Amino acid sequence: MSEKSKKHIKKTDNTFDKRKKASANKTTGPYNKTNRSKPTSSKPPVKAQKESKQEGIRLNKYLANGGICSRREADTFIATGLVSINGKIITELGVRVLPGDEVKFNNERIKPEQKVYILLNKSRDYVTTLDDPEGRKTVMDLIKGACEQRVYPVGRLDRNTTGLLLLTNDGELTKKLTHPSHNKKKIYHVEIDKPISPEQLQMIKDGIELEDGLITADAISYVNNNPTEIGIELHSGRNRIVRRIMEHFELNVKRLDRVYFAGLTKLNLPRGKWRFLTEQEIIRLKTGMYE
């Protein structure tokens, strides 16, 4: 594991101790033109269409961003004449809202919903969902009263997994962070029930075959030279991936803590607490400057 990754691993109140460096028996290594259709009498030139797409936001997305409804529901509201732009009823789908436009739904002006970004250090025994039919505690209980906006968890953490979880109402960023083609760097502190050998660490780094395909760790090493505690760095977003890696070697995870996610760390964020992201952190997430 690189020195840069190690600094995110500390052991204070169920986390890695940054004052102690992982030493012997560690395995490290490198981390790992457009066809233009011809204009016709019924359609505007493609060039004009491209220019219009560079400005404004689609009306259905504007409604969704305003917290009115989903995009699909917005299309229905638009088609039934419930939405107007600058006093004109809009029934055509695909219309774009430009800066300065006044949009009304049911004769009430819509203001785009402010984007909110919350970083939570999730506690154990909380499920990553908005509401649980079984009545279990959810991560929404931990951020109750944080904001007026309706935010959603970005990805999931198991009920018994602790650590970093991002919640936001920014759908585009959520898709960017969770889509399989945009796997983001994650670092976990894992405590297991039996020692894991250096040879097994190397096997994980080289790649092991699970039921859903090959998985490799970008870096993996002992924590404080303890063979029952490891730090593992992954870019995979597969479900329960760390636990399944350990189960491959007939090892059970006693404690699993995510200490790093897409450039975000738990620094100065106690277990069960949350904070808003800084402007700099938001910019890094949106521009892809995660490392």
Q: What are the catalytic residues? A: 158
Nearest Cα neighbor of 232 from 247, 242, 224, 244 is: 242
Q: Which one-letter amino acid corresponds to residue 166?
A: L
Which sign does the torsion angle of CA 221, 281, 277, 182 carry? Answer: negative
Q: Which one-letter amino acid corresponds to residue 69?
A: C
Alpha-carbon torsion, ordered 249, 14, 124, 115, to 10 deg: -110
Q: Which two tokens stand for residue 89?
A: 């009823």
Nearest Cα neighbor of 177 from 276, 284, 70, 280 is: 284
DSSP secondary structure string, 101-125? --EEETTEE--PPPP-EEEEEEPTT
**Parallel, antiparallel, or unpaired for β 161-168 and 253-261?**
parallel
Q: Report the distance separating Cα 89 and Cα 232, nearest Å.
A: 56
Whole-Å CA distances, 189 to 65, 192, 233: 36, 10, 9
